[in-house]
Amino acid sequence: MLIAGNWKMYKGPAETAEFCVDLKRRLDDLDAVDVAVCPPFTSLAVAVQILAGTEIAVAAQNVHWEREGAFTGEVSAPMLRELGVYGAIVGHSERRQYFGETDATVAKRAKAALEAGLSVIACVGETETEREAGETKDVLRRQVSVLEGEDNLVVAYEPVWAIGTGKTATPELAQEAHAFIKGLLDVPVLYGGSVKPENAGELLELPDVDGALVGGASLDVESFAAICLSATHS
């Protein structure tokens, strides 16, 4: 079971330090659950420093596919490794929606990160329009197909219509999507989409849900710790 917190563009180094000290204290006795935090690039180093020696991993929110080069504004997998970062998210719906991410570039990012020794959380999921048109399985099949053959990979199913909207897939919809993805790819599958302490337990108990990629609720240490602790009962 993996609970990963995607902080998006929140928390500079000072706030990150305060959060990580508190999280370390709250999860000191946590067993049987893997936990990761995914701060912005500028806060990775302080998170790695404070969480060193704990079981809480630090991952980036994105990674470039080249090792180095003239790619202004990008960060490579070897750079993240040098910082002590454990892994990276690739293909988040916000990257696809706002920054032109495609299945092809997601595949390149995932491959480069994995080859450099990073773990990868690759995000897939349908929009509300695609779901209403009955295209969910076609979308998931296409997005997952570019990840075939990769090891040390985790997939996060995040229905785009549930990202930051407060909407959550019903347990039945989530289970159906997770089972479908696992039929295509033999990897752990996390659920992402307005996961909160109030609904985490029900979602994490589903047979094909292997954890959660938590957005807004991961920004509050009490809320995130509660989700991590609820995973111990799943």
Q: Supply 165's token pair.
A: 């909207």
Element (H, E) at 111: helix 103-115
At CA 210, angle to CA 204 and CA 216, rounded to 5? 65
CA distance 118 to 83: 12
Residue type, 162: A
- Residues 6+ positions from 194 with CB-CB distance below 8 Å: 162, 163, 164, 165, 166, 167, 168, 215, 216
Residue indicated by tokens 């807004």? 216
CA distance 214 to 1: 13
Q: Which of 86, 91, 103 is nearest to 4 (CA)?
A: 86
Query: Residue 3: CA atoms inside 13 Å, Cβ hemisphere, count?
Result: 28
Active site residue 64: no
Say which of 64, 92, 94, 178 is annotated catalytic. Answer: 92
Say which of 101, 126, 158, 178 is annotated catalytic. Answer: 158
The DSSP symbol for 43 reads: G
The answer to whether residues 158 and 213 touch, using CB atoms and an 8 Å cutoff, is yes
Residue indicated by tokens 């938590």? 214
Active site residue 92: yes
* Beta-bridge partners for 90: 122
Active site residues: 92, 158
